Amino acid sequence: MNMKKTLIAAGVAAAMAVPMAATADVSLTARLQAELTNTSGDFDEGLRIGDAMIGPGNVNSGNWSRVDLRTSHDLGNGLNAFSHISMNLNPQSFPSATRESLLGVRGDFGSLSIGRMSNAAATQGKDPFVGTFMQARGNGGMLGGAGGLGNGGYLNQSLGYNGSFGPVGLGGTVSLDPVVDDGNHAYAVKVEVDVNPVNVWVAHTNADDYNGVDADQQISKIGVSFSEGPFGVMAQYETVKDFMDFIMVAGTYRMGANTFLLGYGQGDADFDGGDQQWIALGVRHAFTRQVSVHAGVRVTEFAEDDADETVVGAGMRVTF
């Protein structure tokens, strides 16, 4: 009788263990930003409410808001299976576009992923103004999304790798050519060395003739940042073959809950009338780690027709 009870108890425990082992760690997070801006200059002028801006006047582009769903499954032996779905969000619409949609395996070797993802060479996160109307990308200080090949863009049909080995971080992506018969795939790699308080990165994208574009689509960049106490500074040089060279510098100074930001950049084009200049000045106040407000001004000058765009505004961010 006792043996029978023991076997029954063992069977019940085994049956319960199966769904427990199959249970995943699930995380659902979101963040929302709204900005009120006034644009003046040689393009569309006036007041707008939106989330970030890539000029001239392209509101809700390069935005900060998003919804993220992440899962993780413990496979044992130090391995984890994971997935990540990220949707675009802004003050005018519910999730309207997919950012990332991928899954993969993670272990001591790093992580391998497959799906839709950002290319490994993207560095928009190095800009302290990123995700606001003052940001450098697409506004004269840094390359924009460039159809997924630049900063802040995403590519379908991709394979990715990320790994950290002491102070060295490695990242790489291969994105299959949407034009299947061509087979001109896009490759990106980034190497980052973090030796506190200095961080250095180099990155390169090669997408010659990718997606039916008959051109050498190559992007190379090198950058460095330094952070010590309340001070922070970064600089990056980015060259896009046969198109434009970008250089930008930015600095931050933290005083209590306030952070002051200053940035300057320029794009030197390989064609007449394409030069650009970016200047940004801003301040951010953090009420908590989840809630902050910011304000400032951005000026982008375009050599063609001596045009310029000045944007003054303020915004609020909430993470939940």
pLDDT (tens digit per residue) in 292-301: 999 999 999 9
**Amino acid letter for position 143:** L
Q: Is the pLDDT assigned to residue 187 strictly greater than 60?
A: yes
| CA nearest neighbour of 133 among 318, 310, 319, 264 | 310
Q: Is the pLDDT assigned to residue 1 strictly greater than 50?
A: no
Query: What pLDDT score does 61 carry?
Result: 81
pLDDT (tens digit per residue) in 244-261: 999 999 999 999 999 999
pLDDT (tens digit per residue) in 124-163: 999 999 999 999 999 999 999 998 999 988 999 999 999 9
The pTM assigned to this predicted structure is 0.88
Domains of the chain listed by start with CATH number = 46-319 (2.40.160.10)
Q: Is the pLDDT assigned to residue 15 strictly greater than 50?
A: no
Q: Give the Cα separation of 241 and 194 in Å (integer).
A: 28
